[in-house]
Amino acid sequence: MGHRSGRPNRTIQLDPRVRERLEGEFQREFFEAAIAQDPCNLDCLIRLGDIYTRQGDYEKGLSIDQRLVGLCPTEPTFHYNLACSFSLLGRLDDAIAALRAAIERGYDEWEHMDRDEDLDAVRAHEAYRPMIEAARGDA
């Protein structure tokens, strides 16, 4: 078999934005294919949900978060991520309900909740502050 001419050991240079976009597309396709083969693979679902959200595909991110909550209903982080997806979509009552479920299951990263940009919209909801204060014992 012949050898292709050129510089086989040369590093490929790409604009960082192009590289980031291509890596994101590759990861998305990879994890979508992995989930098609193993629909209940938690690690792949978590990664795919994160990719969808980072790429601004909030509806698909929500769908993944709902699947994760269905697969592991006692996992507080999955409920927290579901709250974030609802918040990003402007579904604030649903976000409050999911955040309440996360707290009831043990989610207590209060500082993270207060800084997480995904929850910006839900923090403006009238139920947010009283719920957090009651959960912390500040009320």
- Predicted pLDDT at 102: 97
Does residue 4 surpass a pLDDT of 70? Answer: no
Asked if residue 34 lies in contact with residue 44, where contact means CB atoms within 8 angstroms, the answer is yes
Residue 9 lies in a domain: no
Q: What are the φ and ψ backbone dihedral angles of 91, each rounded to 5 degrees? A: -90, 75
> Cα(first)–Cα(last) distance of the chain, in Å?
75
- Predicted pLDDT at 11: 76
pLDDT tens column, 68-114 = 999 999 999 999 999 999 999 999 999 999 999 999 999 999 999 99
In angstroms, the CA 86 to CA 114 distance is: 16
pLDDT tens column, 62-76 = 999 999 999 999 999
Instruction: Tell me the pTM.
Output: 0.85
Residue 99 lies in a domain: yes
Model confidence band, residue 6 (pLDDT cutoffs 50, 70, 90): low
Residue 3 lies in a domain: no
Residue 58 lies in a domain: yes
Does residue 138 surpass a pLDDT of 70? Answer: no
Query: Domain range for residue 85?
Result: 16-136
- Predicted pLDDT at 22: 86
Residue 93 lies in a domain: yes
- CA distances from residue 45 to 2, 35, 76, 88, 130 in whole angstroms, order as listed: 42, 7, 16, 19, 32
User: One-letter amino acid identity for 54?
Assistant: R
pLDDT tens column, 12-64 = 788 888 888 888 899 999 999 999 999 999 999 999 999 999 999 999 999 99
Residue 36 lies in a domain: yes
The three-state (H, E, C) secondary structure of 15-37, written as one string: CHHHHHHHHHHHHHHHHHHHHHH
The CATH number covering residue 59 comes to 1.25.40.10
Residue 5 lies in a domain: no
